[in-house]
């Protein structure tokens, strides 16, 4: 246990120390330097930061929990993301960088009006503070608590163990927020990303070796032979991700997450230029294709290993598997890497929430005369306050019957696709008036809420409900634009020359290669492949 804890502390401290050393002379005093890393991130750093911001224990614990309870259908979130990142690189990113936006609500304000911008900004803030930040901490506590067996080692109750880990993540997250801003987070993400790829792939390899008495391929053959249905990614209506949702709500959720979500998009808005931003997106898309190997396969192997003594909660499958199959001398390293992923997601949400508040609320509404130095200083205070609040809320999150990850996606539906509707329609249409955007947000959220709370009875998956509401909202805004066109139309032709917007010359080749690989992955994990 001492070796495990020591290796965990050393790797975590090493990442923090190296990240601070490499960024100590960079500009973090100005608002652009602190919130957008001085718009100087390159492709590899963007890709690593995107992956680490996205990858945390919601995925490591939640998706593997789905693999344990169901099958490979959960990989729709990962493989679908690789295709969506292509669209972001071609459609969304050039528009964002051409206008030099610092936040997503900036586009909403320019396309519609200031009131709609504040409405969307409030939805982002509420979603991050009440859902994203506490969930990252809670799921992190489950993962870290299970790996270190904190309850058994320190004789703590389940709730007290969660509180201890939540506090540790929250405090270290505050240190990143106070000392470096987005740049130090991006560098730390790159270092942790290398470790996470190594550590993430170690778990399924050791698990299969455990099943196969030291032989990985024998272990894989045994699991496939015993549970071929588990390797089917073509989910049915009873699975977390029915295959049909890949073309309806799943597609929309992924497009929002990778193309309109401030926490994610802020990494790409900080790109040195469009070429580096597109490189980062395509690299992230390529790595997403191997995600199922360490995000779902371990859950399936855990089902095989623990089948004689089934786990009561599927979301405990991953930490239990790590403890079962990893050698004791590697557990500390893996825990440090996973801790880095948790910190990355937490820090990203903190930084983005602080950015949204300071640039869209404090600066324009509270103190228009605020200097850059004041924005950065107050932004750090806001980050710390949000971290403390999230630390208080996180232990209160109850485990959802369908699994933590699926629950998170369902709750996010209250604001993600409604905001996405406004953004994508605003880019495609120039005539819809601002009032139609406000009406769309209100009725979209009310309609979705009525279906999820059971007031309107439906057997449709929540992703299908989101798709139906999306199409309805788009139709309403189109009609509103035809009958009551906006007096002043949005001009998207002007390039503010904040960064160079010359596209990457290999973007078409990269897009085709990624699309073909995504198709191949789905064929592999179907009844045409190993699920047969």
Among candidate residues 128, 177, 136, 183, the one with its CA nearest the CA of residue 357: 128
Instruction: Note the pLDDT tens digit of each residue in 310-368.
Output: 887 777 888 889 888 988 778 777 777 777 777 777 877 787 888 888 888 998 889 88
**Residues 461 and 410 sit within 8 Å (Cβ to Cβ):** no
Q: What beta strand segments (E) does 146-267 contain?
A: none
Q: Which two tokens stand for residue 522?
A: 């789905």
Q: Is 41 helix (H, G, I), strand (E, B) or coil?
A: strand
Quote the CA–CA distance of 363 and 367 in Å, as a whole number.
5
Instruction: Note the pLDDT tens digit of each residue in 102-154.
Output: 888 999 999 999 999 999 999 988 888 888 888 888 877 877 777 677 777 77
Quote the CA–CA distance of 90 and 107 in Å, as a whole number.
17
Q: Is 402 exposed, middle or buried (0-12, 13-18, 19+ CB in 10 A)?
A: middle
Complete domains list, the chain, with CATH: 2-409 (1.20.1730.10)
pLDDT for the residue 514: 96
User: What number of CA atoms fall less than 13 Å from residue 320's CA on the CB side?
Assistant: 21
Instruction: Note the pLDDT tens digit of each residue in 14-56.
Output: 776 776 666 655 544 455 545 555 677 888 889 988 887 777 6
Quote the CA–CA distance of 99 and 51 in Å, as a whole number.
25
Q: Where are the alpha helices (DSSP H) in 241-327?
A: 249-259, 262-269, 274-288, 291-295, 297-305, 317-325
Alpha-carbon distances, residue 113 vs 50, 119, 262 (angstroms): 30, 10, 19
In this structure, the number of other CB atoms found within 10 A of the CB of residue 154 comes to: 11
Instruction: Note the pLDDT tens digit of each residue in 358-395.
Output: 888 998 889 888 887 888 888 888 888 888 888 888 87
């Amino acid at each position: 246990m001492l070796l495990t804890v020591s290796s965990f502390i050393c790797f975590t401290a090493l990442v923090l120390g190296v990240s601070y050393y490499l960024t100590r002379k960079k500009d973090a005093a100005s608002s652009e330097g602190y919130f957008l890393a001085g718009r100087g991130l390159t492709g590899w750093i963007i890709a690593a930061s995107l992956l680490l911001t996205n990858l945390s224990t919601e995925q490591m614990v939640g998706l593997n929990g789905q693999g344990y309870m169901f099958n490979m259908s959960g990989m729709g979130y990962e493989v679908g993301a690789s295709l969506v990142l292509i669209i972001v690189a071609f459609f969304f990113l050039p528009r964002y960088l051409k206008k030099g936006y610092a936040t997503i609500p900036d586009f909403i304000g320019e396309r519609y009006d200031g009131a709609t911008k504040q409405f969307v900004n409030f939805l982002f803030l509420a979603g991050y503070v009440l859902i994203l930040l506490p969930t990252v901490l809670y799921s992190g506590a489950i993962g870290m608590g299970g790996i270190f067996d904190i309850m058994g080692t320190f004789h703590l109750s389940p709730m007290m163990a969660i509180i201890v880990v939540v506090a540790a993540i929250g405090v270290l997250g505050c240190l990143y927020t106070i000392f470096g801003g987005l740049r130090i987070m991006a560098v730390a993400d790159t270092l942790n990303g290398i470790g996470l790829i190594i550590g993430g792939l170690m778990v399924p390899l050791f698990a299969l070796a455990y099943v196969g008495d030291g032989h990985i391929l024998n272990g894989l053959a045994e699991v496939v032979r015993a549970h071929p249905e588990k390797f089917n990614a073509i989910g049915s209506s009873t699975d977390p991700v029915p295959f049909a949702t890949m073309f309806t709500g799943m597609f929309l959720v992924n497009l929002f997450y990778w193309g309109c979500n401030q926490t994610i998009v802020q990494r790409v808005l900080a790109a040195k230029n469009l070429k580096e931003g597109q490189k980062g997106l395509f690299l992230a898309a390529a790595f997403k294709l191997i995600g199922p190997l360490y995000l779902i396969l371990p859950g399936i192997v855990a089902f095989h290993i623990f089948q004689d003594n089934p786990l009561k909660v599927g979301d405990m499958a991953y930490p239990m598997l790590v403890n079962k199959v990893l050698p004791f001398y590697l557990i500390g390293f893996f825990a440090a890497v996973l801790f880095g992923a948790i910190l990355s997601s937490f820090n990203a949400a903190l930084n983005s929430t602080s950015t949204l508040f300071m640039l869209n609320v404090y600066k324009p509404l509270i103190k228009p005369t605020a200097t850059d130095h004041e924005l950065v200083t107050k932004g750090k205070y806001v980050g710390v306050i949000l971290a403390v609040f999230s630390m208080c809320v996180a232990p209160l999150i109850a485990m959802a019957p369908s699994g933590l990850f699926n629950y998170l996606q369902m709750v996010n539906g209250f604001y993600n696709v409604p905001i996405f509707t406004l953004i994508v329609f605003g880019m495609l249409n120039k005539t819809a008036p601002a009032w139609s955007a406000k009406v769309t947000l209100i009725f979209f959220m009310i309609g979705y809420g009525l279906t999820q709370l059971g007031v309107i009875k439906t057997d449709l998956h929540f992703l299908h409900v989101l798709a139906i509401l999306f199409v309805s909202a788009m139709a309403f805004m189109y009609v509103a634009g035809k009958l009551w066109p906006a007096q002043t139309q949005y001009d998207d032709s002007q390039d503010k020359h904040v960064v160079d917007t010359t596209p990457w010359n290999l973007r078409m080749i990269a897009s085709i290669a990624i699309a073909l690989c995504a198709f191949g992955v789905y064929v592999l994990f179907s009844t045409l492949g190993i699920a047969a």
